[in-house]
Amino acid sequence: ACTTGSQQSEANNQGGGEALSEADLAGQTIGFIPGVNDPFYISMQCAIEETAAEYGMEVSVQIPEQFEAAVQTPIVNSMIATDPAALLIAPTDGTALQPPLKQAVDAGIPVGLVDTTLDDPSLAFTSVATDNELGGAAAADALADLIGGEGKVLVIAFKAGASTSDARQKGFEDQIAAHEGIEYLGAQINDNDPAKAASIVQASLAANPDLAGVFATNLFAAQGAATGLRNAGAEGDVKIVGFDAGATQVEQLERDDVQALVAQKPGDIGRQAVEQTVAELTGGEVTPEIGTETVVLTQENLSSMQDAIYQESC
């Protein structure tokens, strides 16, 4: 059993440090770099802090002001300089964040990916995320249902190059193709800006007055899409399926500005990422890839699904 333990620790401990005992974890710091400041990542952060505290560990959080690789990269560099025991990060771009995270690993800091992933995630000891393609497919079926299987639909992709945006779009596109009565108008990018999502929806509606539905791939895309429809006086006529379940989105669902929300489980992602970090640091068995669930919120099930709504603070 002893030999297995040390073999595991060598194999898993990619940062190259000595495996710690569980007691040694107390006082160690996990760095956490989310994509941006939003209720999804706040909920994840709360779970990370809570789980880390169970091991006596600290969490050092640095939050990019925008969901942008150019903003996140210097944060990674400054986090490396503080030499945390491990780093958990949601890379905002699968390509651009590869080199800075390789530097973290080269500096002996094990890296775990949460939510988004990298083009080559093999540098990370674990990747914990929603199955975003499946979530996109669920959104396609929900939207098809809402529009009675007929009409024009649009995708608002929140950020090209962010793995979650790309995967939700792909899952939606693959699945919507199976609905013969639906005409897919393609995807437009809102750069994580709700105002841009609103203007995309208003312009699409002007060009296609018979627009039937919108799939908005994250919290800010969905919030903005709903605002855009309301500005155009088309709320409720054009159906919206959004991803995520922040308080504003849930209010929009209650008002019928949005008809369905694909809610992720950011708390599960955060908790499991810390459990994997503990395994990594103590030479335990690490799971390289963990998928977490989504649930679809509608006006009908909302009252029984209050736990699925994201936190605005811990």
Given the rule CB under 6 A, which residues bind ligand T6T? Answer: 35, 38, 40-41, 115-116, 162, 164, 218-220, 243-244, 264
Nearer to ligand T6T, 48 or 162 (CB): 162
CB of 74 to ligand T6T, least distance (A): 20
Nearer to ligand T6T, 41 or 172 (CB): 41
Nearer to ligand T6T, 75 or 234 (CB): 75
CB of 119 to ligand T6T, least distance (A): 15
Nearer to ligand T6T, 205 or 258 (CB): 258
Nearer to ligand T6T, 215 or 243 (CB): 243
CB of 264 to ligand T6T, least distance (A): 6
Written in H, E and C, the secondary structure of the chain is CHHHHHHHHHHHCCCCCCCCCCHHHCCCEEEEECCCCCHHHHHHHHHHHHHHHHCCCEEEECCCCCCCHHHHHHHHHHHHHCCCCEEEECCCCCCCCHHHHHHHHHCCCCEEEECCCCCCHHHCCEEEEECHHHHHHHHHHHHHHHCCCCEEEEEEECCCCCHHHHHHHHHHHHHHCCCCCEEEEEEEECCCCHHHHHHHHHHHHHHCCCEEEEEECCHHHHHHHHHHHHHCCCECCEEEEEECCCHHHHHHHHCCCCCEEEEECHHHHHHHHHHHHHHHHHCCCCCCEEEECEEEECCCCHHHHHHHCCCCCC
CB of 79 to ligand T6T, least distance (A): 19
CB of 262 to ligand T6T, least distance (A): 9
